[in-house]
Amino acid sequence: MPILATTPTLKISSHELSQIRQLTELKSSSGSHSPSLTTMQESLPDINVAIDACYLSNPLATDLFWKFFNSDVQMDDQLFRRIVEAYPAQNANIAERLAPAIGVDSSRILMANGATEAIQAIIHNYASHLHVNVPTFSPYYEFATPGHQITTFQSHKEDGFALDPVQYVDSVVKSGADAAILISPNNPDGYMIPRGDLNWILDRLSYLRTIVLDESFLHFGLDAPPGVLPSLVSVTEAYPNVSIVKSMSKDFGIAGIRAGYAVMAPDRVKELLDHGYLWNINGMAEYFFLLMTRRNFITEYLGVLREYRGAVSRFTARTANADYVTAYPTSANFQLMELPPGLPADLITTLMLVRHGVYVRNCDDKIGLDGEFIRVAIRTEKENHQIISALEDVISSV
Amino acid sequence: MPILATTPTLKISSHELSQIRQLTELKSSSGSHSPSLTTMQESLPDINVAIDACYLSNPLATDLFWKFFNSDVQMDDQLFRRIVEAYPAQNANIAERLAPAIGVDSSRILMANGATEAIQAIIHNYASHLHVNVPTFSPYYEFATPGHQITTFQSHKEDGFALDPVQYVDSVVKSGADAAILISPNNPDGYMIPRGDLNWILDRLSYLRTIVLDESFLHFGLDAPPGVLPSLVSVTEAYPNVSIVKSMSKDFGIAGIRAGYAVMAPDRVKELLDHGYLWNINGMAEYFFLLMTRRNFITEYLGVLREYRGAVSRFTARTANADYVTAYPTSANFQLMELPPGLPADLITTLMLVRHGVYVRNCDDKIGLDGEFIRVAIRTEKENHQIISALEDVISSV
């Protein structure tokens, strides 16, 4: 919507207005995703992004990865050159080595060049009609081909975006879909389906050809026994129509590496390997997956996960009682916030960027969100204070 | 075939025999590709691979990449961390920046996670019946789904694996295929289709839905004007059914990065972007593609390409008159060699590895090769001497 028409009494400089226009243009040319930080900084060199609160990762885990990588490179000065120069191992070989860390048999694992590749592989091969609950992560409908039918189930802000299992199953059945998509915790609202609800849903939907269960944000919401990575992968053994999709970018803060996987019935993995997905893992991703097999890395990771979840809790405790936004409860490492009436999300996100260098996600393009919403990634303790201050400042000043 | 039955008087130690068995097992579990160097060294730690002559890259270009990367990292100590942590730009954005370096409009470029992803995308979306000339690079038939039909055109060793244009076009037409696959120079034989033949073929096959023209090895065979990267991408403008496929692994020696692209009609690129292939470029690959847009990198690259092509010529001059193998003429950076009667390729490749640490490609699994063949990657001057010595030694000793 036109910014100036909505808020006629804005106090912005002409330079800010020019930046707002440039950002609008950049965003509209990026499809349904925010422009990457690099793309944005190249297009608008005079905007200094101090905090990337679009990026949904655990920053402490990036530090941990960095620590291990640098130490390994120091121990073996040819390591990084080999990573760049040599062909990585094949998909199935990496799956075999990774299997114990994930806790399923390697025959169930399809390694992927980021979770998006796994999503694409599943949707293109094992679904013709997708039932998607909205709002959601857009690749789930973007990767559909013209041959796919898509129907939706709407979750509501009035319920905190909770998924009512009975209504949901009813909606899937009535849609006639052969595939259902569930993200838990869901992006952009952070709602995690309780385990009891999930089992009830999977039981009723066992007739479907495919259920995609995306657990990319599960580490931030699910409690697991000590020493164990939170995961739902074991449900694929009881429900052969379920594919678990997992991104490594969020938990481990390594989006640039493009590392993900899916866990599903062995016959599907075999079929997908036979049709391609052979050499899709790059050298850095292979290094990362082997890191996951090292006990000391996992132990330290679980430590930084605990620490980060503490920061997430303190952030949401502060926003829960905020009067300047409506912050929805979240089981993920981000929070969906609805802006006060009359404040457009594109204006608030732009002013946060221009005035404070804080880059948050404008949710204007999210299908199924009724109102003006932003999604804020929760970062380090220090950054979280700055994010909240910037938000308070911008909202109170317009 | 059983090694011992073929050559009853072998002089090999029992330790060598055990290594031969392990290698056979490893190879048979790797499908139609050689196990990666890492996979092999992990499985057989007591084999020391001194020279990887399976790996079809320009090693001088790897050095050059390394030089630029290290210098950039020294100038900007956050560069590598950003590469790992941040989401890379989207496919279309990278294509836009790369377009001037490739010499086509960005609307024609599909960025790919290695050439194999581009091959898979084209075959799965724009072909139902593939006509493949054999021997060839196996993904061209491996990525076919059960719904694809495959027919073949056989090139012959007696002709130096030359592609007769008239016979080839006749074979495509008679096959009823909707898609033809051409690799030039071809892998594994190194035959490059002369430009006149190619134009004649493309004219006659303009009725096909799709022609894949893989130019991954073209830098090693085609001469281009000073300052220009050798390429056939411009043919996509005259022939809208042609898709050029390009791997960066060979020219630039960076297989671990997984960088490739395809150039094709803009409507196909748009369609593929709409169906996925959105975030398939990892941070290191993005860095590499931006390096390709820097004039000084391309200038230095063309220098090391010239130097390497000199080493390739000196290698083939030595093998041309060899009496221990039949070495076929090549326009690529590898050479296909036929072994003397009675010497199985699996034995020779294994003994070269076990006795000399030289890893060459056993071509037993290549469809359409009649005889015992190995494919030898041409490396640095010094390594090439060792490769030839190892080959002479092993063949003369069995």
pLDDT, tens digit, 9 for 90 and up, residues A176-223: 999 999 999 999 999 999 999 999 999 999 999 999 999 999 999 999
Whole-number Å distance between alpha carbons of B210 and B309: 32
Q: Which residues of A touch B258 (CB under 8 A)?
A: 88, 113, 279-283
Tens digit of pLDDT for each residue in B209-260?
A: 999 999 999 999 999 999 999 999 999 999 999 999 999 999 999 999 999 9
Closest CA to A312 of A178, A221, A230: A221
What chain A residue is nearest to B119 in terms of C-alpha separation?
A: A276
Predicted confidence (pLDDT) per residue in B192-209, tens digit = 999 999 999 999 999 999
d(CA A156, CA A372) in angstroms, rounded, equals 14
Residue of A271 and B138 predicted with greater confidence: A271
- Integer-rounded Cα Rg, in Å, for chain A is 21
Q: Which residues of B touch A39 (CB under 8 A)?
A: 89-90, 93
The residue-averaged pLDDT of B303-331 equals: 96
Q: Do A85 and B117 touch (CB under 8 A)?
A: no
Give the pLDDT score at B7. Answer: 44
Interface probe with A: pick from B65, B67, B77, B85, most Cβ of A within 10 Å? B85
Residues in chain B closer than 8 A to A91 (CB atoms): none
Query: Looking at this predicted complex, what is its ipTM?
Result: 0.90
pLDDT in tens, A236-257: 999 999 999 999 999 999 999 9
What residues of A are in contact with residue B87 (Cβ under 8 Å)?
A: 36-37, 55, 249, 255-256
What is the reported pLDDT for A10?
64
Listed in order, the ranges of chain B carrying CATH 3.40.640.10 are 88-293
Interface of B with A in 182-221 (CB under 8 A): none
B83 interface with A at CB cutoff 8 Å: yes
Position with higher pLDDT, B45 vs B113: B113
Residues 262-301 of A with CB under 8 A from B: 274-286
Q: Mean pLDDT across chain B, nearest whole number?
A: 92
Torsion angle, alpha carbons of A113, A119, A124, A128, to 10: 180
pLDDT tens per residue across span B79-112: 999 999 999 999 999 999 999 999 999 999 999 9
In this complex, is the C-beta atom of B260 within 8 Å of any C-beta atom belonging to chain A? no
What is the helix (H) or strand (E) element at residue A94, kind and residue range? helix A91-102
Architecture of the CATH domain A88-293: 3-Layer(aba) Sandwich (3.40)
Categorize the per-residue pLDDT at B25 as very low, low, confident or very high, splitting at 50, 70 and 90: confident
Flag if B282 and A279 touch (Cβ within 8 Å).
Answer: no
B84 in contact with chain A, both atoms CB, cutoff 8 A: yes
Q: What is the pLDDT of residue A145?
A: 82
- B43 shares contact with chain A (CB less than 8 Å): no
Burial class (CB in 10 A: 0-12, 13-18, 19+), B238: exposed
What pLDDT score does A22 carry?
Answer: 81
Candidates A36, A93, A145; nearest CB to B86:
A36
Q: What is the distance between the alpha carbons of residues B304 and B252, in angstroms, rounded to a whole number?
A: 10
Three-state SS for B381? helix
Asked whether the beta carbons of residue B256 and residue A120 sit closer than 8 angstroms, the reply is: no
pTM over 0.95: no
Residue A256's alpha-carbon distances to B32, B74, B195, in angstroms, are 30, 20, 40
Q: In what order do the strands lie in the sheet with A242-247?
A: A109-112, A260-263, A242-247, A210-214, A179-183, A129-134, A149-154
Nearest CA in chain A to B39: A89
CB contact under 8 A, A85 and B116: no
**Dist CA B243 CA B212 (whole Å):** 5
CATH superfamily, domain at A3-61+299-397 = Aspartate Aminotransferase, domain 1 (3.90.1150.10)
A260 touches B: beta carbon within 8 Å:
no
Helix (H, G, I), strand (E, B) or coil at A303: helix
Nearest CA to CA, how far is A123 from chain B (Å)?
A: 10
Q: Which residues of A touch B63 (CB under 8 A)?
A: none
pLDDT attached to residue A292: 97
**Alpha-carbon distance A367 to A340, whole Å?**
20
Q: What confidence score (pLDDT) does residue A335 get?
A: 98
Closest by CA position to A177, among listed A144, A129, A209 = A129
Given a contact cutoff of 8 angstroms between Cβ atoms, the answer to whether B256 and A85 are in contact is yes
Whether A379 contacts chain B with CB within 8 A: no
Which chain B residues have a beta carbon less than 8 Å from that of A278?
31, 33, 116, 139, 142
First to last CA, chain A: 17
Which chain B positions have a beta carbon within 8 Å of A285's beta carbon?
Answer: 282
Residue-level pLDDT at B9: 62
CA distance A301 to A298: 5
> Are the beta carbons of B365 and B24 closer than 8 angstroms?
no
Name the residue of chain B whose CA is nearest to A53's CA. B86
pLDDT tens string for chain A (398 positions)? Answer: 444 444 446 677 778 778 778 887 777 776 656 677 777 777 778 788 899 999 999 999 999 999 999 999 999 999 999 999 999 999 999 999 999 999 999 999 999 999 999 999 999 999 999 999 999 887 777 778 888 999 999 999 999 999 999 999 999 999 999 999 999 999 999 999 999 999 999 999 999 999 999 999 999 999 999 999 999 999 999 999 999 999 999 999 999 999 999 999 999 999 999 877 888 999 999 999 999 999 999 999 999 999 999 999 999 999 998 989 999 999 999 999 999 988 999 889 989 998 999 999 999 888 889 899 999 999 999 999 999 999 999 998 88
Contacts of B84 in chain A (CB under 8 A): 62, 65-66, 69, 254, 256-257, 284
B282, B288, B290, B379: which to substitute to probe chain A, counting the most A Cβ within 10 Å? B282
A chain contacts of residue B272, beta-carbon cutoff 8 Å: none
Predicted pLDDT at A286: 97
Nearest to A256 among B87, B142, B255 (CB): B87
Which part of chain A has CATH 3.90.1150.10? 3-61+299-397
The model's confidence at residue B32, banded by pLDDT at 50, 70 and 90, is low
Q: B358 in helix, strand or coil?
A: strand
The shortest CB-CB distance from A113 to any of B37, B39, B280 is to: B280
Q: Which of A153-162, B37-46, B149-158, B269-278 has the least mean pLDDT? A: B37-46
Which of these, A139, A2, A63, A56, lies nearest to A360 by C-alpha position? Answer: A56
Question: What is the C-alpha to C-alpha distance for residues A92 and A272, in angstroms, rounded to an integer?
Answer: 11
Segment 123-162 of chain B within 8 Å of chain A by CB: 124, 139, 142-145
pLDDT at B41 over 80: no
What six digits make up the tokens of A188? 């952009």
Q: Are the Cβ atoms of A256 and B116 closer than 8 angstroms?
A: no
Which pairs with CB-CB distance under 8 Å and at least 24 residues apart come from A382-389? A383/A51, A383/A53, A383/A59, A384/A311, A384/A314, A384/A315, A384/A318, A386/A50, A386/A51, A386/A356, A386/A358, A387/A51, A387/A53, A387/A358, A387/A360, A388/A315, A388/A318, A388/A319, A389/A356
* A243-300 per-position pLDDT tens digit: 999 999 999 999 999 999 999 999 999 999 987 788 899 999 999 999 999 999 999 9
Chain A positions in Cβ-Cβ contact with residue B88 (cut-off 8 Å): 36, 38, 255-256, 258
